[in-house]
């Protein structure tokens, strides 16, 4: 077995693609419209799907808003330097929602950023 991807629904696909590629440094791996189902899928990630787990961005046409819900937690990304990553993300217009620092009750350095739809992304040091 292999973990392939995580899917999240997004309101504005182009805005989300820009965030994940330009702010978080992922690549757009593929994008496809499904006119009969009235949705578009875009896959983003740090490497090819054959070798890496990626994020599937799903845009349902005509849907303006989603509720994230109380069960979803966050996506996590390893970075070499959490402080520097937050500076770069902020400079590119990203929103840092938890400043970098040690986790509560531990020593791991982490931070949280938020994508355009409000999904939380944890940045973990030591990547």
Q: Please, which residues have CB within 8 angstroms of residue 107's CB and are 6 or more apart in sequence?
A: none
Which of 55-85 are b and which e, b meaning 16 or more Cβ less than 10 Å from the residue's Cβ?
bbbbbeeeeeeeeeeeeeeebebebeebeeb
- Phi first, then psi: give them for residue 39, nearest 5 degrees: -150, 160
Identify the burial level of 91 via C-beta atoms within 10 angstroms of its C-beta, where 0-12 means exposed, 13-18 middle and 19 or more buried.
Answer: exposed
- Between strands 39-45 and 27-34, the pairing is antiparallel
Catalytic site residue 56? no
Residues taking part in catalysis: 122
């Amino acid at each position: 077995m292999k973990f392939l991807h995580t899917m999240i629904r997004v309101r504005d696909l182009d805005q989300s693609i820009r965030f994940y590629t330009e702010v978080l440094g992922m690549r757009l791996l593929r994008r496809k419209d499904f006119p009969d189902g009235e949705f578009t899928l875009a896959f983003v990630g740090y490497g090819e799907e054959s070798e890496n787990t990626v994020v599937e961005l799903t845009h349902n046409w005509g849907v303006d808003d989603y509720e994230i819900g109380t069960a979803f937690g966050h996506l996590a990304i390893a970075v070499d330097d959490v402080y520097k990553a937050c500076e770069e993300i902020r400079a590119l217009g990203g929103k840092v929602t938890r400043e970098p620092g040690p986790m509560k009750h531990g020593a791991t350095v982490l931070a949280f950023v938020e994508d355009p739809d409000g999904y939380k992304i944890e940045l973990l040091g030591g990547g």
